[in-house]
Structure formats: structure tokens, C-alpha cells
Amino acid sequence: MQIMSNGIFKSPLHRVVTNKAKLRISVAMFYEPEPEKKIGPVEALIDDKRPRLYRNVTNYASLNYECYQKGKVPLEEVKFHA
């Protein structure tokens, strides 16, 4: 969502607060586009005041897994740096 919104919507950081008095159940849900689908900022959200922040990327799931193994943040890998 952060890439497609060109940084308007931020990806939240997942945090957990434990409670010794109550049982905690977690349900992980993952979604990802098909590998051949191109992910990039929506053109209508790019202009002179808000330039493109992220490059287009395909196979985002593979990028995500590769970055995780290297201790990198996928969003930083596809972000244009000034």
C-alpha cells in the first residue's frame, strides 16, 4: 500500500504487548500480488509537488523474502534516494 500510494499511506510496524493473565492467539494472514504483476505508485498520485518515491517492481514477494534474509527493509530497496 505504501508503494502504490507513493508514500501517502505508511506501512505500520507490527508490535505485540504480552499479557500474562490472558491467553493470546495470533492469526497471521499474508497477501501478495501474482509474481508477474507490476507494483508501483499510482500515476494520479505523482506530480511536481509529490514526485515518484518508489520504482516499479515485479515479484515483490521474492524481494521481500530476499531482503528479510539479508536484514534489509524491502521498501527501502525500491525507494528512490535523493
Say yes or no to pLDDT of 13 above 80.
no
Best CA proximity match to 35, nearest among 55, 58, 57: 58
C-alpha cell recorded at residue 21: 493473565
Tell me what the pLDDT averaged over the chain comes to.
90
Q: What is the pLDDT of residue 41?
A: 97
C-alpha cell recorded at residue 28: 497471521
Percent of the chain residues past pLDDT 70, beyond the cut = 99
**Chain segment 34-72, per-residue pLDDT in tens:** 989 999 999 999 999 999 999 999 998 899 899 999 999
The beta-carbon contacts of 21-27 under 8 Å, at least 24 apart in sequence, are none
Q: What is the mean predicted confidence (pLDDT) over 14-20?
A: 81
| Intra-chain end-to-end CA distance of the chain, in Å | 22
Rounded Cα gap, residues 37 and 34, in angstroms: 6
C-alpha cell recorded at residue 31: 497477501
Q: What is the pLDDT of residue 71?
A: 95
